[in-house]
Structure 1
Amino acid sequence: MQPFTRLDAKLAPLPLANIDTDQIIPKQFLKTVEREGLAKGLFYDLRFDADGREKPDFVLNRPEYKGAGVLVAGDNFGCGSSREHAPWALMDFGIRCVISSSFADIFYSNCFQNGLLPVVLKPDQVQQLMAEAKGGNHLVTVDLEAQTIVAPSGETFRFEIDPTRKEKMLQGLDAIGETLQAAGAIDVYEMKQALAQPWLEGA
């Protein structure tokens, strides 16, 4: 998993509440277990019309937001069914951070397992970022170490995050990576078990 330390990127506003995981990545794109290639399905019904053409008024289709790395969205982002493809699709599209006033619990946890940083700010701060993102300057800075968001105007917002999750994000550790840190100790334990109880190894 790619470490997350500091991100300087375009901010795209999505002023919709209760964006669920089926809107983030519709069910027809869930047939793969690969993390790459899911960007095509991100917000598919919002981004494309019935003929598969881009809707020019959708924020991520607009030229000024092309390549956005940060998304600021309405309340209760990532609600609905649990699907790890949702953070995968956002990451594959190039979005490394989502800012909202609240997230669905399972989506929030899935983000940390995949290197996508979910940031919770106060509703008035989210609204301010929405308004600023619609202006001429779309650049924000997300600093995980300092736990701050620097808005396009230069104003700084501080966010809270669980220290353990923060450290794993900074180091780029998912559940597998965390386990591999103890690989040496695991190997020693297995060797001792094999010597003490050889019948467990089978013949």
Structure 2
Amino acid sequence: MEKFEKLSGVAAPMPMINIDTDMIIPKQFLKTIKRSGLGVNLFDEMRYDDNGEEIPDFVLNQPAYRDAQILVAGDNFGCGSSREHAPWAIKDFGIRCVIAPSFADIFHNNCFKNGILPIALPQEQVDLLMDEAQKGANARIEIDLESQTITTSDGETISFDVDPFKKHCLLEGLDDIGLTYEKSAAIDSFETRSAAERPWV
């Protein structure tokens, strides 16, 4: 998994509440078990019309936000079903951080497992960053995970909380498999000892 240390990028504003996982990646795209290739279908029903043409007014179709790496959204982001395809699609599009007043628990945990930093902030701070995002490509937001700070283009700094263990995993680029590999020496030692002590197994 790619490490997350610092991120400086354009933030796309999506001031909608209750953006659920079916809105993030509709059910017809859940057949794949690959983590790549879903970015083109991110927010599919809001992003394209019935003929598959881009809807110009949708934020990620606008020139200023096509390469957005940060998403500023409304309350209860990622609610609905527990599909892990939702963070897969977000990451594949290129978004590494989602900022909202609150997140659904399962989506929140799935983000960390897929290299995405979800940041929950009080509504007034989200509103400030939403205003910042409305400035488009001229305003870049910087996120420093180590110091747990967000810096706006005007130099204003906002602090955020993050679970220490999840922070460690993101900084080191460790998903569940990576965490297991960290213990590979201890696992090998155990298997060697177990084979000597219980050769009949």
TM-score, normalised via structure 1 length: 0.96
Partner of 1:69: 69
Matched, 1:199 2:200: yes
C-alpha separation in 2, matches of 1:165 and 1:51: 41
The question of whether the paired residues in 2 share the 8 Å contact of 1:133 and 1:152 is answered with no
* Cα displacement string for residues 34-63 of structure 1 (whole angstroms, at most 9, x for unaligned residues): 111001110000100111110000000001
**Residue type at the aligned position of 1:152:** S
Partner of 2:180: 179
* Cα displacement string for residues 88-139 of structure 1 (whole angstroms, at most 9, x for unaligned residues): 1000000000000000000000011110000111100101111121125331
TM-score, normalised via structure 2 length: 0.97
Determine what percentage of the aligned residue pairs are the same residue: 57
C-alpha separation in 1, matches of 2:132 and 2:193: 60
Moved over 3 A (4+): none
C-alpha separation in 2, matches of 1:160 and 1:69: 20
Partner of 1:16: 16
State the shift of 1:65 in Å: 1.0
Partner of 1:6: 6
C-alpha separation in 2, matches of 1:9 and 1:135: 13
Partner of 1:189: 190
RMSD, aligned α-carbons: 0.9
Matched, 1:28 2:28: yes
C-alpha separation in 2, matches of 1:139 and 1:125: 16
C-alpha separation in 1, matches of 2:77 and 2:132: 20
Q: What SS does structure 2 have at the residue aligned with 1:83?
A: coil
Partner of 1:129: 129
Partner of 1:108: 108
Partner of 1:60: 60
C-alpha separation in 2, matches of 1:127 and 1:70: 15
User: May I ask how many residue pairs the two structures share in their alignment?
Assistant: 200
The question of whether the paired residues in 2 share the 8 Å contact of 1:12 and 1:138 is answered with no
